[in-house]
Amino acid sequence: MTTLSDLNSCDAATFTDRLRGIYEHSPWIPERAALQRPFANATALKLALQEVVSAASLDEQLGLTRAHPELAGKAAVSGQLTAESTSEQAKSGLHLCSAEEFATLHQLNADYNDKFGFPFILAVKGPDGQGLTRRAIIATFTRRLKNQRADEIAECLRQIKRIAELRLNDLLGMTLDFGPTIMQWCETIAAWSDTDNSASADFDLTCAYMTPAHRKTAAQLLDWMRDAGMDAHIDAVGNVVGVYRSDAPDAKTLMTGSHYDTVRNSGKYDGRLGILLPIAIVRHLRRRGEKLPFHFEIVGFAEEEGVRFKSTFLGSNAVTGHFDLSLLDQADADGVTMREALLAAGHDVARIPAIARDPAQLLGFVEVHIEQGPVLLERDLVLGVVTAIAGSSRYLVELTGLASHAGTTPMTMRRDAAAAAAEIVLLVEQRCAQGASLVGTVGQLQVPGGSVNVIPGACKLSLDIRAADDAVRLAAVKDVLDGIAAICARRQVEVSMQQIVDASAAPCAPRLMQQFGAAIERAGLPRFDLLSGAGHDAMAMARITDVAMLFTRCGNGGISHNPLETMTADDAELASVVLLDFLRSFRPA
């Protein structure tokens, strides 16, 4: 077996030869990386090879891309693949394609080459290294065929780097201690959804507050916490709480965690990664008989997304002592109140105020989360240190016009609620394109009872405006609300608005950021700081203690809140290594 020590000590020619199979028919990559020896760890070696690819000329990058074989193509059929490619394609059963699958892949290969001028490249071993299904490969192929050429070149290079990462793992006999377990746990709880998927070819993961899927997920998290050696329980609001207790006298508590509810038709990692990853670390510590000089508390927050009751951060607000008890009488779309849902799940709502933590006993709150954006991905970075979490203003807007006949009502006499809504959508887009780190979204748009031959008399929409600077956000909110009033007055449409979120921006604590940054660098990665445009439970926790966040990169262009949301076991491994190092090296204020 090849070792890192061997690679560091051998001559350049031997180094290149031993890494010949890592990048397909491209020995120039290890040749250039050899100049950076010695490598402190395997992560540094991987990074050096990736940087050679990133720094190469476009012609060299295209040559590397064209050196790869088609999936289930002629080279595979004739047995002309490299040993590495043969193993990878077999892992996904591409040698077992049905006649229909083979024909589909043949046509996709031809269409892709015609459009882009190079072969389609995909790390078919997949995010967890266990192999994608043929169906998943064909779906990815079909989706990426719609990309622009520049975007697809970048994606192919990312896939090549992922292939190389997996090949290096095999070459060096690397075993991942955390990543595969975390990925498998994510798969396990992603199988439980509010949506009946039995008749659908495409699985829809939706896990809203206090539904059967939500309660089943909580029970599983509780079991994993207890199995890992934690004192664990489910509190009155549905948070799953586990504590890995210190033996130190008068120990205080460092908290971590994230949410386990999801948006509709969500991905598998949003929120849940930040619960499962620290559980895996605690399991590791317990197996080693290692204790920390502080209590380490993991909270699976019961609700952050606001899907069922239109109220966000229910779990973390309870922990900070800011749970609004009047929300218990808020009803979902079926008329079930939050109080009724909690009682049906066996929770005692009278105990919710007692959930609040004593800030004097806390050392801070740290949260690991997928980035939910493309910044890290586009920079080939696994991890990032969050500087601040953007503030958010959200509204539900109802427009009331006048429903009338679509054929007989002159255009000048219409009070069209949908036309007003359309103008509002464009207003939000135009205004929120004017500020740094300012974004605005209309994510919900409905025409209740709409008919093809009736002018819409009512329309409902949502409004979400975010910025890292609260002054920037509030100025945009004022302009948008003033604009909505003007649009509706001009169109003679009545408007009512309900604010459902007003969350201030939450800066991360510099002392915790510095400690995360140092742990990232000790892992062999460069430190990179970035803003979080998405809201997180850390925002709520910032009310009572210092907070920090560690981002891991998202694949598939950085997409999140979507079934395409993805990450890799290797990235989960590095995030775990960094958080574990952070815990072992933690310095209180």
Q: Using one digit for the tens of pLDDT, what is the confidence trace for 487-517?
A: 999 999 999 999 988 888 999 999 999 999 9
Beta strands 295-301 and 240-244, pairing class: antiparallel
Compute the half-sphere exposure of residue 466: CA atoms within 13 Å on the CB side of its CA: 20
Calculate ∠ Cα 418-421-425, nearest 5°.
140
**Cα 343 to Cα 25, 166, 336, distances in angstroms:** 63, 48, 11
- What does the pLDDT read at residue 197? 62
Percent of the chain with pLDDT over 90: 89
Residues 6+ apart with CB under 8 A from 579: 256, 277, 278, 281, 366, 368, 519, 550
Contact (CB, 8 A) for 491 and 424 = no
Q: What is residue 466's predicted lDDT score, i.e. its pLDDT?
A: 94
Rounded alpha-carbon distances, angstroms, from residue 297 to 255, 322, 452: 5, 19, 55
For position 390, what pLDDT does the model report? 92
Kindly give, in sequence order, each residue whose CB lies less than 8 Å from that of residue 171, ignoring residues fewer than 6 positions away.
2, 18, 19, 21, 22
Q: Are 211 and 302 in contact (CB under 8 A)?
A: no
- φ, ψ (nearest 5 deg) of residue 501: -145, 135
**Of 18, 51, 58, which is closest to residue 32 (Cα–Cα)?**
51
Number of continuous H segments (helices) and E segments (strands) in the chain: 21, 16
- In the numeric block, the tokens 């598939």 are attached to 556
Question: What is the Cα–Cα distance from 421 to 8, expressed in whole angstroms?
Answer: 63
Q: What is the pLDDT along the chain (589 residues), one digit of tens a residue?
A: 899 999 999 999 999 999 999 999 999 999 999 999 999 999 999 999 999 999 999 999 999 999 998 887 666 655 666 777 777 777 778 888 888 998 999 999 999 999 999 999 999 999 999 999 999 999 999 999 999 999 999 999 999 999 999 999 999 999 999 999 999 999 999 999 998 765 555 679 999 999 999 999 999 999 999 999 999 999 999 999 999 999 999 999 999 999 999 999 999 999 999 999 999 999 999 999 999 999 999 999 999 999 999 888 999 999 999 999 999 999 999 999 999 999 999 999 999 999 999 999 999 999 999 999 999 999 999 999 999 999 999 999 999 999 999 999 999 999 999 999 999 999 999 999 998 789 999 999 999 999 999 999 999 999 999 998 899 999 999 999 999 999 999 999 999 999 988 888 999 999 999 999 999 999 999 999 999 988 899 999 999 999 999 999 999 999 999 999 999 999 999 999 999 999 999 999 7
Amino acid at 352: I
Which tokens hold the place of 264? 């509709």
Contact between 120 and 97 (Cβ < 8 Å):
no
- For the chain, the residue count is 589
Q: What is the pLDDT of residues 430-440, one digit of tens each?
A: 999 998 789 99
Which residues, 6+ apart, have CB-to-CB distance to 131 below 8 Å? 91, 92, 93, 124, 125
Q: Which two tokens stand for residue 42?
A: 């395997």
Q: What is the pTM of this model?
A: 0.89
The string over 303-328, giving b where at least 16 C-beta atoms fall within 10 Å of a residue's C-beta and e elsewhere, is bbbbbbbbbbbbbbbbbbbebeeeeb
Q: Distance (Å, rounded) from C-alpha 121 to C-alpha 112?
A: 10
CB 5 within 8 A of CB 12: no
